[in-house]
Amino acid sequence: MPEETWTKLIPTKDCGPGCARFVTIGDLELAVFHLTDPDRFIVTRNSCPHAGGNLSAGTIEANTVSCPWHYWSFDLDNGQCTTSERVTLCRYECRIEDGYVYARLDGA
């Protein structure tokens, strides 16, 4: 895994099933979500595209997160906002290796 391409974020054990974690990498604020059925991790911008709500503190249901500020909901598998079809949440490619979540933050 080339170090310049993948950024190590957090140990997978720090983000249990159905939970989310806030992660900062430099100035970049990210949310790591651990979804289930099937088990997978999703990495997005933490800031809600509506008005900057803290998505890592949102409510997770199945594959969606609802923003804690005004309750807009996002499909975490594709970033699509289910409240306004013109809004998309920025997602980052991620992978799990050696018990850590990594993300490709190129151009972020």
Identify the residue among 8, 45, 57, 69 touching ligand FES (CB under 6 A).
69
Among 19, 51, 62, 90, binds ligand FES (CB under 6 A): 51
In contact, 19 and 60? CB cutoff 8 Å = yes
Stretch that binds ligand FES, among 4-12, 14-22, 65-73, 86-94 (CB under 6 A): 65-73
Identify whether the C-beta of residue 17 lies closer than 8 Å to the C-beta of residue 64: no
Nearer Cβ to ligand FES (67/105): 67
Q: Shortest Cβ distance from residue 48 to ligand FES (Å)?
A: 3
CA distance 55 to 35: 14
Q: Is residue 72 near ligand FES by the rule CB under 6 A? A: yes
Please report whether residue 50 would count as binding ligand FES according to CB under 6 A.
Answer: yes
Interacting residue ranges for ligand FES, rule: CB under 6 A: 48, 50-53, 67, 69-70, 72
